Amino acid sequence: MIEQQTPWSIRDAHDLYALDVWGDGFFSINEQGHVCVKPIEGQDITIDVNDVVAEALDSGSSLPLIIRFQDIISSRVRRLNRKFRDAITEAGYEGQYRSIFPIKVNQLQEVVVEVMETGREYDIGIECGSKAELMAALPLIGADTLLLCNGVKDHVMLTMMLNAQQLGQQVIPIIEKYSEFEQLMILAGQRDAAARLGVRVKLNTRGAGRWYESGGARSKFGLTVPELLRLVKTLEKAGQAGSLELLHFHLGSQISDIQVLRSAVKEITQIYADLVLRGVNVRFLDVGGGLGVNYGGDYDNPDSSINYGLREYANVVVYAVQEICEERGVPVPTLLSESGRALTAHHSMLVIPVLGVHRPDSPPMNDETPPDSPTLISRIETAYQEACATEVTGILLECYHDAREIREEADQLMRLGYLTLDQLAHTDSLYWSICREVLRKLSDAQLTPPPTEQLELEEQLTDLYLCDFSVFHSIIDHWAIQQVFPVMPLHRLNEKPERRAQVVDLTCDSDGKIDQYVCGHANTSWLPLHKHNHGEAYHLGIFLVGAYQEILGDAHNLLGRVDEVHVYAREDESGNFWIEETLKGLSVKEMLSQVQYFPNDLDRRMTELVRKQINAGVIKAAEGSRILNNYTRRLEESTYCTTEVVR
């Protein structure tokens, strides 16, 4: 009896691209097979991403395009604070929780303002880590807003922090090394004032995941316990023990294992309790960053996934602190966490168009055998016929092995001059035909585990989908630290994707590609995509790019910042959304200016070149004018490709 194959469904697409794993309830697929966004938690307002792309293009934006769903930021801020409030209520915790947004995660003003406005009802604060970030943050905070200052601090930054304290602002420098404390004491002494401060402590607990070195005794920043005691004794001697208001640790920007967090919270709380019993009334306990985002796959890839949810994270922090404070008989502190990735990653996505497809296998072979062919031609023809005639795994593998060996022989004969170009092309076509046939039948057999040859063939027969973007600018963490980002088509999801694909970018660099994908509940080296029909738009989305990517991105091949739109959900608007702001990416002229190719100089040199050719009679004046105008006009355009097709 022949088993009936179940028709492709939207649910299949949902599972294939693992939206349940990384979407966090914000992303889905509608009946038309389009990716949709539900940005406001608790409301059913749904936005078709393709409608946003269409309106953005109609309004003058171009691809690639960043879309920011600003309501997702608000939803994430509310969700985080509500989960901590729930945990505090359930535990009977007598203190408070205040979230802190580290602006290094995404310094774009619209993002920071959205976080702060939504977080006002939760007393949200800001964290900065550099002079520029401090100067950006100071005007944004209210009288009761906490501003925590991490990172290396020179006397200029410390002076600015003391100035802010003098103005009544809640600015707390976090001491990362002992020399900063000494500098701060000198500067505060010159004002005859006591400085408010916090301390980052180097715990014995190390982080888990890619950023594990951010914690532990070998971490870059923080005071050891002996240094902390030395600091406390210095403050006590000066009669300023009350200046130490905050204890802080940091395990990295993505904690993959909740047990590591539990251990660190218990360790820092023991230190807190000892200080309180000593008479140092620390007010705040800051558990740092690390609230993770599940970028996809299962926990076999801990660098891109987490083994906990937001509720468990909040419960671990609240209950661990309460348990130790009760045991030690000390009051509980106000809890702080510096959660940036978890607040911003989901709100931003990158839309990229497919420009073309390169298939590694040759076109179907010509049936005619080239004249005077050596015996290896007949051998590979026989292997092809056997591969077509059999379903037996062993024979299929043997055909593939034979074809691989014959192809190597053909390459050697070609180098020695014993094989013609026609004969080599015929051999190559047969080789790829055998590969396709063998892989098709092995895949249909659904062998568990699949033979090594099947995995090898999947790699070989993967199409290269050339897309209009730069890995190095838009998802630099994929290149730098092999961070996985979800990638999927934005439309045609009601069709089964039949092609194995690898997405490659515009750059002239072999690393300019995405070579890890979220597929099903695992990470793979290729992604199922639909056949690209020439002349038809085929758009892919790269998701969860709202944390770190844009600010870290570089200008490899002088591909610069892309266009972006800021979208808000509105039920009374067409498509349930409105584009609140459009930002143009860098033009060629602006990009060149950044590397000191100035437009006036370029224009002068180009004019001289054209005039020289006109005077030499190489081109006519009208043609020279056309060439020069074209050059000048292109300087104003995007650094990325145009999707216009020459007809």
Structure tokens at 183: 């500098």
Q: Where are the alpha helices (DSSP H) in 461-598?
A: 471-474, 476-481, 549-552, 588-594
Q: What are the phi and psi torsion angles at 299 (to 5°)? A: -75, 0
Other beta carbons within 10 Å of 410: 23
Told to judge if 149 belongs to the known catalytic residues of this protein, a careful annotator would answer no
Q: Which residue bears the tokens 């800051």?
A: 286
* b/e sequence 460-482, b meaning 16+ C-beta within 10 Å: ebbbebbbbbbbbbbbbbbbeee
> CA of 420: how far to CAs of 27, 368, 372, in Å?
55, 15, 10
Buried b / exposed e over 581-620, threshold 16 CB at 10 Å, is: eeeebbbbbbbbeeeeeebeebeeeeeeebeeebeeeeee
Q: Please report, as a single letter, which amino acid is at residue 280.
A: V
* Encoded amino acid at 334, one letter: T
Q: Residue ranges of the alpha helices (H) in 448-541? A: 452-460, 471-474, 476-481
Tell me whether residue 311 is exposed, middle or buried, using C-beta atoms within 10 angstroms of its C-beta: 0 to 12, 13 to 18, 19 or more.
Answer: middle
Per annotation, catalytic residue among 149, 325, 508, 641: 508
Number of residues in the chain: 647
Q: How is residue 294 written in tokens?
A: 């599940």
Say how far apart CA 335 and CA 268 lie, in whole Å.
12
**What is the C-alpha separation between 21 and 621, in angstroms, rounded?**
62
CA distances from 646 to 374, 535, 629, 639 (A): 44, 11, 19, 19
Point out the residues that are catalytic. Answer: 508
